[in-house]
Amino acid sequence: MSVADISLWAGFFGILAQIGATLAGLLFVGLTISIEHVIASRGYLSRGFTALALQFEILVIGVFGVAPGQTATALGPELILTGLFVLAGVAVFAHNFPEDEKSTVLATRGPRLIRATLTAIATLFPAIAGAGLWLGWRDPLYWIIPAVLASVYLSIGYAWIFAIEIPRRRENQKDQN
């Protein structure tokens, strides 16, 4: 893929940077609303970190993509490293802050599997796109699209949990007591 081909994606990459920054802000609001519950639960801390890391990844990918004169030779390794570093960060954080009895919202096996799958797509697909650029595949940047959708879906879901669901359940518990 040539510089000219990557420049065709400039609008897309610019929107990615905006999405990453906007959703990170939304997540901070949601986390602030439920901060006492998030801090009390290792699982919610891990989810909050994951959501912010995924939005950071989208932002970084967007910034790399709009860099003037960006070449496939440069963008490929940037995408590989971005995806792998975010995946490693999320994995280390999840290991140190695993789900616990206090992180009850969507904590059963099914939702956990869905979250793990979407996180893998969100982080590994940009790395695949980067490898494709480096290896000269045809249209490898399309691998970024499902990664972005997975990141946005997870982050909006986490923002909903932090801003709406945790406070709603807290109010229901008060009403029952």
Q: How far is CA 65 from CA 21, 26, 81, 105, 129, in A?
A: 15, 23, 14, 36, 12
- Give the residues of the chain that fall short of pLDDT 50: none
Looking at residue 52, its pLDDT comes to: 93
Looking at residue 131, its pLDDT comes to: 97
Looking at residue 17, its pLDDT comes to: 94
How many domains does one find in the chain? Answer: 1
Range of the domain at 113: 3-159
In a domain, 165, yes or no: no
Looking at residue 161, its pLDDT comes to: 86
Looking at residue 2, its pLDDT comes to: 60
In a domain, 113, yes or no: yes
In a domain, 164, yes or no: no
Q: Report pLDDT digits (tens) over 134-164.
A: 999 999 999 999 999 999 999 999 888 888 8
* Amino acid, res. 36: E
Tracing tokens 């616990």 back to the chain, one arrives at 100
